Amino acid sequence: MTGAPRPGVIERYRDFLPVGPATPRLTIGEGDTPLIRAPALERRIGGGEVWLKLEGCNPTGSFKDRGMALAAAKALEHGARVLICASTGNTAASAAAFGARAGVTTAVVIPARGVALGKIAQALIYGANVIAIQGSFDDGLAIVRSLAQRRGAALVNSVNPFRLEGQKTAAFEIVDVLGDAPDELYVPVGNAGNIAAYWQGFRAYQQADHADQLPVLRGFQAAGAAPIVAGRPVADPQTVASAIRIGNPANWKRAVQARDESRGAIQAVGDDAIVEAYRVLAAEEGIFVELASAVSVAGLLHRARSGASIGARAVCILTGAGLKDPGAAVRFAPEPTEVPATAAAVADALGWDSPPPA
Ligand SMILES: Cc1ncc(COP(=O)(O)O)c(C=O)c1O
C-alpha cells in the first residue's frame, strides 16, 4: 500500500494563500492533522457530535507549524536571514524548526520561568538562539517587535499576517473532512491569533463555496489570564496552562471581531476545569494534550454543565501535544506504585490474586 505524499500547507492550499512562484514551498510535513470523534465527551455532554482536531500531531507538536510554514517562507522570499519571535514555548519550537529547515538563524525570547521543558528542549536542539528574559511573554513581544526593525530580521509572532494566513488552513481541513463547517468551534485563546485565523479560514472557504455555513466561535481563556473576558490587560497573568499565560494579546481586536461576526463568545475557565479536561481527554479519549489545549474541552464541558445548548456538531481544537510538558502530567496524574521485582508483588499491587506457582 502506498500513501499520498504530504505536501505541506503551502502547496496543498496555495490557491487560498498569498503565495506566488517566488515563494519557497517550505514544509516540514505540517498540516493534515487528524479530526476524530470523541465518544466519551459526547456521552458526558449528553448528545450531539463532538470532534477533536489533533493539532499536536503537527511535526513540532503544535498548531504553530501551519502559520510558521508560511511566515518563514515569506521571510525567505523577502530575503530575511533571521527569524525572531517571543514565545511561551510553542512558537519558539516551531520557528526554530523552520529556521533550521530554511538554513537561517532563529532567535527566540522566552520568559525565564514557566516555559515547559520540552518546548525549550525543542528550540535548543533545532539550533535556535534561546534568550530567557526576567519578564513575561508580553515583555518579550515588546522587545522582539523593536529588534525586528533591523535589516534582515523577520518577526514571526502572530502579529505577522502570514502566520494567520497559514493557520487558517486548519479550518479548510475541518471542512474538507466534515463536508461543511461545524456548528460550533471551541478554541483556546492566548495571544488570540488562532481564533482569528480560524475565522479567516472558514470565511474564505464559504466565499469560495466550499462551505455552506460558518461556525459559532467559542473561545476560552484561563481565568487567571483572561484579558479579553475582563476587557482590560492583565498585568501578572497566572494559570497552569503556561502556553496561554498572556496578559495583553496582540490579536485582541481581530479575535473580538471574529467572535462578534460569528455571534460567539470568549469566556473564562478556571485552572481546576482545565486540569479536569486534561485528565478526561487522556483517560477517557486516549488523547494526551498539553494543558493549554485542554482549555477548549474545559469550555465545552463548562457550557454543557451550565445547561447551555451545544451545537449539533462541535469541534474542539487541541492545539498542542502532551509530551511537551511531561512535568504537568506527572503533577496531575497518580504516582506509580513501586514494589519488589516479583510477580506476586506486582499482582498484589494490582489487586489481583497471586499468580499460580511456575
Ligand atoms: C498549545 C497552545 N494552545 C493555545 C495557544 C493560544 O493560541 P493563540 O496565541 O493564537 O491564541 C497557544 C499559544 O501559544 C499554544 O501554544
Q: Are residues 102 and 171 in the same domain?
A: no
Q: Are residues 70 and 56 in the same domain?
A: no
Nearest atom, ligand 1, residue 196 CA: 10
Q: Are residues 241 and 197 in the same domain?
A: yes
pLDDT in tens, 64-103: 999 999 999 999 999 999 999 999 999 999 999 999 999 9
The proportion of the chain whose per-residue pLDDT surpasses 70, expressed as a percent, equals: 98
Q: Are residues 203 and 269 in the same domain?
A: yes
Domain annotation covers residue 45: yes
Last residue of a domain, one of 129, 160, 191: 160
CA distance 131 to 47: 47
- Residue 130 pLDDT more than 80? yes
Cell numbers that stand for 355 in this block? 499468580
User: Which residue's CA is the nearest one to ligand 1's atom 14?
Assistant: 243
CA distance 127 to 149: 23
Domain annotation covers residue 77: yes
The C-alpha angle with vertex 324 and arms to 316 and 51, in degrees rounded to 5, equals: 15
Ligand 1: residue of 33, 53, 64, 90 to mutate (most ligand atoms within 8 A of CB) is 90
Last residue of a domain, one of 125, 160, 195: 160
62 phi, psi to nearest 5 deg: -155, 165
Q: Are 48 and 42 in contact (CB under 8 A)?
A: yes
How remote is the CA of residue 254 from the centroid of ligand 1, in Å? 15
- Residue 358 pLDDT more than 70? no
Nearest atom, ligand 1, residue 191 CA: 9
Q: Which is more confident, 3 or 109?
A: 109
Q: Poorest-confidence range of 149-153, 220-224, 294-298? A: 149-153
How remote is the CA of residue 243 from the centroid of ligand 1, in Å? 6
**Type of residue numbered 167:** Q
User: Which residue's CA is the nearest one to ligand 1's atom 7?
Assistant: 190
**Residue 285: domain span:** 9-62+163-332
**Type of residue numbered 112:** A
CA distance 266 to 188: 9
CA distance 279 to 5: 34
Task: Kindly state the average pLDDT of the residues 285-309.
Answer: 97
Region for 64 from its dihedrals, namely left if φ exceeds 0, alpha if ψ lies in -120 to 50, beta otherwise: alpha
CA distance 274 to 142: 29
State the DSSP string of 43-96.
Answer: HHHTSSEEEEEEGGGSTTSBTHHHHHHHHHHHHHHTT--EEEEE-SSHHHHHHH
**8-state DSSP, 129:** E
Q: Are residues 287 and 189 in the same domain?
A: yes
How remote is the CA of residue 63 from the centroid of ligand 1, in Å? 8
Our count of domains for the chain comes to 2
Ligand 1: residue of 191, 266, 317 to mutate (most ligand atoms within 8 A of CB) is 191
**How many C-beta neighbours within 10 Å does residue 324 have?**
30
* Ligand 1, residues at Cβ distance < 6 Å: 62, 88, 90-91, 158, 188-194, 243-244, 290, 292-293, 319-320
Q: Three-class SS of residue 112?
A: coil
- Residue 355 pLDDT more than 90? no
Q: Are 171 and 202 in contact (CB under 8 A)?
A: yes
Q: Are residues 201 and 304 in the same domain?
A: yes
State the DSSP string of 169-216.
Answer: HHHHHHHHHHSS--SEEEEE-SSSHHHHHHHHHHHHHHHTTS-S--PE
CA distance 80 to 49: 45
Task: Kindly state the average pLDDT of the residues 247-271.
Answer: 98
Nearest atom, ligand 1, residue 158 CA: 10
pLDDT in tens, 188-218: 999 999 999 999 999 999 999 999 999 999 9
> CA Rg, the chain, in Å?
21
- Taken in order 80, 161, 84, 10, the sign of the CA dihedral is negative
Q: Are 325 and 114 in contact (CB under 8 A)?
A: no
